[in-house]
Structure 1
């Protein structure tokens, strides 16, 4: 009598191989998910990230609003609508410092070295981090828009144009996040990354049309402000929101702000993503 043998089970099918772009996209999403889960477990980081822009809205609206000249008017209600495009843009760009600090912290703790030992696309670590920061920035914008509506800000050109304006803001924020990624890879500590991220952000955001009418600046400073990528996005948002204070300038970015904002953001992404990934690969070697 012979013992019956069970038929052998077929080996599980291997996951389909992905090409370079497909693997990079998959790995980037995995890293992004990891960073989002970590953010959700540290809610105070998100809360403190919301407090700062809300404070800017309240302080600029009620403390400085009555003394700001917008288009020849010092009406505080007009200034509140003028202000919000600048506050939105400042919020998405200041996320750069957090992105740089997060990457520097991962480097400092050795987490990046663990990622390097895995069979994953090299650029996925940075792309995943920037995508996670983009999601957090989008949530911050939603809360900030609600606060802005409570203090009197309104959109006057319809929902589609308003969504387009928020899209430009997120694109600018994503572009500047790559600047933060490069800074985070270039310093030794998270504290240095935070400081380095804020040093260049203050002149970029304040030498612009975000908080004051650039027409009131001296001629050479106005020229810098009008060609500032940050100003182009602010100008585009004011046009798309239908808010007052659209700058009257002969500078090309101010005449075609939506196109200029898109071009600036894409160029910044291409340049600084290339530099950041190259820095990551060199440090990996």
Structure 2
């Protein structure tokens, strides 16, 4: 913990002071050591969200610490389960889910660590509608900081290469999170996250699923996952064209 407080947390907070989303995302992509990079990435993304929503400085520090430690319970999960390339069996998945409880117990029993950091480890897989684990707790039973880390955790996990699947484009994961495809998240936090992430695309050249290319010119405030695209002299409002999506960023 002294090393984490002296070296890791200041580096994360500094990296998100004047955040440029694209360079930060590239630097956080999991390559060789997913577990290590995921730990740092969730800390950085959570810190970024905390600043976007205006968390007080005291809560910002708690958030970043808890986010860095959110998966510490995986130290007690067998490595062959963590790195398994095929689908986990029901028994293996049940054991994997226990990393939340293990993490809570480890942090709670460590002198000097705040209880809310332990709650983040316990609750970062809970969902607003009670569909998560380990307890199926719904929105009013989940700490606000845990809700931030839940979004950061899913976002980085799905935008990173893993041993069992390739990464998905970040804007596609943002869209799926916003539409509820990937589970139920806090709507206020998710709206801020989606708007900020999609705003980073303004000015980018993209290709669309219908074969056209264009530039992102405007993020729709009521449907930020589906922006306005300019293709030659034509404007394409993706919020009104549900069958068309962005396919990739060009360049």
Q: Could you say whether these structures have the same fold, taking a TM-score greater than 0.5 normalized by the shorter chain as the test?
A: no
In the superposition, the TM-score normalised over structure 1's length comes to 0.26
Q: TM-score, normalised by structure 2?
A: 0.29
- Please identify which structure carries the higher helix content: 1
Question: Larger Cα Rg: Structure 1 or Structure 2?
Answer: 1
